[in-house]
A and B are shown apart, each in its own frame.
Chain A
Amino acid sequence: MPAAPAPSGVPATRKVPAGTLYRGREGMWSWVAHRVTGVAIFFFLLVHVLDTSLVRVSPEAYNDVIGTYKNPIMGLGEAGLVAAIVFHAFNGIRIILVDFWAKGPKYQRVMLWVVMGLFAVTMAGFLPRHLMHVFGGE
């Protein structure tokens, strides 16, 4: 792919490779995190469809397997899964804004901090409630 022209206002003599929006710093690391969380969610999805399919075998088979999702270790895994989904969702919206909103590329870095803020708020709402259900705090 040919390199895009450097955005206006960027000095032509800078040392870092010019012409890409994402390389290095926040843009690249959010891209890496988007890939890692995406792959993790995909493999969980494969397993999740298989475990849910046990409802077609018998109520006992389904309840046995879903019971293992309720132990504390799996409960922490679910917290991690939800964290991955929440990041992937908010960062995905950021990617859409970078692609389609005229000012998206200009604000891509600011939007990553907005993503992290929304992530923190969402997880602060979810984690205590989920961990109480898993660890029996209510």
Chain B
Amino acid sequence: MTTIADPKAPRPPKPRPARLTTRGNTELYGWVFMRASGVILVVLIFGHLFVNLVAGEGISAIDFGFVAGKWASPFWQIWDLLMLWLAMIHGTNGVRTIINDYAERDGVRLALKASLYLAFVVVVVLGTLVIFTFDPCPAGSPADLLPSFCTTA
């Protein structure tokens, strides 16, 4: 006759992996973010490319007046702000994944990711400031370089 364990007995502890590779669900949220932001970025960037490179005179029409004309409207300010933040987070997370995959030495990996995060902060802060502190009609600039509403207003 075989004895079976007491049903109320405590369970033996589960064997744990030797090294925990992630804590919490951060990588899952990153994975979801890549897909969600990707869908939005397709719309934002295709729209950006169409308006700047295809419509009208395309790239030959891009100058200070063109940019000032766009950012005079909150619509394009929000569009470009969203594009900046989503693309920078999406791209930084993508490059982070690639660094984790290929940089095997701890020091190299750490240094690459530190420069990546530094670049992220600099570019996102600079871009955000430029969108919101931009002056379409800077004083003392020649009128022919400025959008037409600078002189008519």
A residues at B contact (CB < 8 Å): 35, 38-39, 41-42, 45-46, 49-50, 52-53, 55-56, 58-60, 62-63, 66, 69-70, 75, 78, 82, 85, 89, 92-93, 95-96, 99-100, 126, 129-130, 132-134, 136
Q: Does B95 contact A (CB under 8 A)?
A: yes
Q: Nearest residue in B to A100 (C-beta to C-beta)? A: B35
Known contacts: A78-B59, A93-B42. The answer to whether A39 contacts B95 by CB under 8 A is yes
Q: Per a CB cutoff under 8 Å, which of A38, A62, A96, A133 touches B57?
A: A133
Q: Are B91 and A45 closer than 8 Å at their CB atoms? A: yes
Q: Are B42 and A82 closer than 8 Å at their CB atoms? A: no
Number of A-B contacts (CB under 8 A): 107
Q: Report the minimum CB–CB distance from A92 to chain B (whole Å).
A: 5
Contacts of A89 in B (CB 8 A): 38, 41-42, 45-46
Q: Does B138 contact A (CB under 8 A)?
A: yes
B residues at A contact (CB < 8 Å): 35, 38-39, 41-42, 45-46, 49, 53-54, 57-60, 62-65, 67-68, 84, 87-88, 91-92, 94-95, 98, 119, 123, 126-127, 129-130, 133-134, 138, 141-142, 145-146
Q: Are A46 and B46 closer than 8 Å at their CB atoms? A: no
Extra 18 A-B pairs, beta carbons < 8 Å, given A39-B94, A133-B60? A38-B98, A41-B91, A42-B91, A46-B123, A49-B84, A49-B127, A55-B68, A69-B59, A70-B59, A70-B60, A82-B49, A82-B53, A85-B45, A93-B39, A95-B35, A96-B38, A126-B49, A133-B58
